[in-house]
Chain A
């Protein structure tokens, strides 16, 4: 592992690309790197695999504006801007690389989401939702099935932004993680709307 170079790729996922699974995003990038003749570092061993790491994968159906993909290459990329252009030329519609960072990846602990609702959301609803002593939410675990927990301490911030969209900041990562769908379900149950009428996108990350 000594002779390789790390890059952080910041990309967006919009339009129909929102509806492709995490595995499909991985496959899409693997092939795009091949098309762009990127000197991707392959893992050693029986089946060689390109080393692509998506530290905060997105659920199917959630858009992303500043998603993170960490890669390693076998040679240094001399001009990252040129690399970005070549990569974008061979990526499917809806997936765009917006930035490539070659050093100092900032730490990530929270993610910012913007939630668009087909029904109008008012300040009162958001305030009442937050005023609860505890916010009942349900998350699903493969081992334990449905788990009911209090969501309130996990909500770092919530506010109504223009166009009646909700902006919410939730923990992300290995230590603490809340899927935005869990939030949407809790909120829509509280206000009595159909959760299918909500559409979320992740707009960025915070330390």
Chain B
């Protein structure tokens, strides 16, 4: 593609810069010296994709090899898609403007089930056959990685293979194998490569077949191993970008991001990330300090964010923050700490937080009563919430955002009403705190409740649980709305039930769903996670056309022996352990976090938590 072809009409689209590349830190190489080309495709907008750490890691990792060139492509917004289709411009890499259908690989990251139709749309815009079976030697190899690959079955027919688990090491193993075969002049390179790539640990290829369409059990037709997820060997030594792209236009998370922990000790039973990213590993303070310095020096970002599922679980969090503070303070850099659990707040930490987050504080109690929080193993007590709010209020914060889920297993009306009560007590606490501090003219408090619909995800103890029906969720939403109606200081937002329903189906689905996804895309479905794009009727029609009942996938409880479509993938989480957790959940029995006690989830020697715990007391 030629820049001049685009130039003519580019001013008719919104934020044209995001389709033109050329950002500081983007990597342009001399084409004549390149042996292998890779297109990293993010099936959502530029603003979301560029905020994603995984993209930045893999982009840096692949481009570190002189002879490999990784470029980017994102899902175009409607106006730009129209331009591409009208002008017959094929989807191109942002770095070279070359059509990605001519690359060796196109890799998608699967972050969100409701972006699946965007994948088909991008393949179509690229001019690549959508179904793996229709591709020939002339086509690139289409692969996927990312968290949704823990159940890739609904997309199975579209990809040549999937990469299960952490990508830092396996990506290069895959590319090196391919390049070796390419340089040695392998005939029918594409099919030969696809025949052998399954020998790499973490690759899930088309060798696995469903043994019959009606049972979801999946077997391997050759003697290939069970695909198991990859775990990087050492988080302190593993590749982390020093230089990264700084977009021209504002993106969702426009700051330097430092991953401090991978995995989570908490074991909240609804949280897929908490299970599939195990084992728990943390970076050393020196590593974090060094990586942040080089990132900030290179990018010039004015904020750095510490990223993890639960940052305050770092065994040396105070020491870490004190160390980082020396650098950030003297360089006028703000520190943003999302994912801080409130039960660990000390005054020092809170004052740290307040420096950047002058606006508000966010908590995720997820459930309104202690009983239900025990069921989901979210070990936050009301006292802890109040304590954290109180110190936040003394720092001048007046707005609190609370995240809840509706439709959790065993939930009853009392649990819903308790959400409103909790919010009201936080408001009371606001006034009493300010009164005791003699603050005269206080801003009115503002509580925002976000109540989403619970989705039972694979590889969690709730994989056996049903999703609440539309009637149940409507009832719960009404109940909550009425309970807070009188109070104008509390506002509540819900997501569209049907969207969560679709997300659950796609998360739990089997291979039969690829036909449905294809039909939905044909009917114009894309950006299904966006309210203004979501076309529920088109989805329903797509299910009907393919004789698939969507309700079969999510509205019932499963027993221990049921074969899930993801059971053949090894994430080192024992199904017995998950079942056991599910039984405990129903009785409201909590499970201690991994630091307190190991529950033998199945990771065995792959888990190093005892070593991490011990190191806390050295020095």
A interface, CB within 8 angstroms of B: 15-17, 19-21, 23-24, 27-28, 30-35, 42, 48, 60-61, 90-94, 118, 196-197, 199
Q: Quick check: A197 and B22 within 8 Å, CB to CB? A: no
Let me know if B10 is at the binding interface, CB within 8 A.
yes
Q: Quick check: B248 and A92 within 8 Å, CB to CB? A: yes
**A residues near B24, Cβ cutoff 8 Å:** 28, 31-32, 90-93
* Given known A19-B10, A34-B300, contact A24–B249 (CB-CB < 8 A): yes
Q: Quick check: A31 and B299 within 8 Å, CB to CB? A: yes
12 A–B pairs (Cβ distance < 8 Å), ordered by A? A17-B248, A30-B302, A31-B246, A35-B298, A35-B299, A60-B16, A90-B300, A94-B22, A118-B8, A196-B11, A196-B12, A197-B8
Q: Quick check: A16 and B246 within 8 Å, CB to CB? A: no
The answer for the CA separation of A96 and B31 in the assembled complex, in Å, is 25
Secondary structure dominating the interface of A: helix
Let me know if B23 is at the binding interface, CB within 8 A.
yes
The answer for the CA separation of A15 and B22 in the assembled complex, in Å, is 9
**A residues near B301, Cβ cutoff 8 Å:** 31, 34
Q: How many A-B residue pairs have CB under 8 A?
A: 71
The answer for the CA separation of A35 and B333 in the assembled complex, in Å, is 12
- Size of B's binding interface in residues, CB under 8 A: 26
Let me know if B297 is at the binding interface, CB within 8 A.
yes
B interface, CB within 8 angstroms of A: 3, 7-12, 15-17, 20-24, 246, 248-250, 297-302, 332
* Given known A19-B20, A90-B24, A196-B9, contact A35–B297 (CB-CB < 8 A): yes
**A residues near B21, Cβ cutoff 8 Å:** 16
* Given known A27-B248, A92-B248, A196-B8, contact A19–B17 (CB-CB < 8 A): yes
* Given known A48-B332, A199-B7, contact A20–B300 (CB-CB < 8 A): no
Identify 11 new A-B residue pairs, CB closer than 8 A, beyond the known A21-B249, A30-B302, A93-B24. Answer: A15-B3, A16-B21, A19-B11, A19-B20, A21-B15, A24-B17, A28-B248, A31-B300, A33-B300, A34-B301, A196-B12
Closest to B17 in A: A20
The answer for the CA separation of A30 and B248 in the assembled complex, in Å, is 12
Q: Quick check: A93 and B332 within 8 Å, CB to CB? A: no
Closest to B16 in A: A19
The answer for the CA separation of A31 and B255 in the assembled complex, in Å, is 11
Q: Quick check: B22 and A16 within 8 Å, CB to CB? A: yes
**A residues near B250, Cβ cutoff 8 Å:** 23, 27
The answer for the CA separation of A48 and B24 in the assembled complex, in Å, is 24
**B residues near A31, Cβ cutoff 8 Å:** 24, 246, 299-302
Closest to A34 in B: B300
**A residues near B248, Cβ cutoff 8 Å:** 17, 20, 24, 27-28, 92
Closest to B13 in A: A19
Q: Whole-angstrom distance from the CB of A24 to the nearest CB of chain B?
A: 4
- A-B pairs with the 4 shortest C-beta distances? A31-B300, A34-B300, A16-B22, A35-B300
**A residues near B16, Cβ cutoff 8 Å:** 19, 60-61
**A residues near B298, Cβ cutoff 8 Å:** 35
Closest to A46 in B: B358
**B residues near A32, Cβ cutoff 8 Å:** 24, 300
The answer for the CA separation of A61 and B20 in the assembled complex, in Å, is 13
The answer for the CA separation of A196 and B15 in the assembled complex, in Å, is 17
The answer for the CA separation of A166 and B302 in the assembled complex, in Å, is 42
Q: Whole-angstrom distance from the CB of B27 to the nearest CB of chain A?
A: 11
Q: Whole-angstrom distance from the CB of A18 to the nearest CB of chain B?
A: 9
The answer for the CA separation of A94 and B20 in the assembled complex, in Å, is 12
Q: Quick check: A93 and B8 within 8 Å, CB to CB? A: no
Q: Whole-angstrom distance from the CB of B294 to the nearest CB of chain A?
A: 12
**A residues near B17, Cβ cutoff 8 Å:** 16, 19-21, 24
Q: Whole-angstrom distance from the CB of A69 to the nearest CB of chain B?
A: 16
The answer for the CA separation of A33 and B298 in the assembled complex, in Å, is 11
**B residues near A48, Cβ cutoff 8 Å:** 332
**B residues near A42, Cβ cutoff 8 Å:** 332
The answer for the CA separation of A61 and B12 in the assembled complex, in Å, is 10
Closest to A60 in B: B11
Q: Whole-angstrom distance from the CB of A36 to the nearest CB of chain B?
A: 8
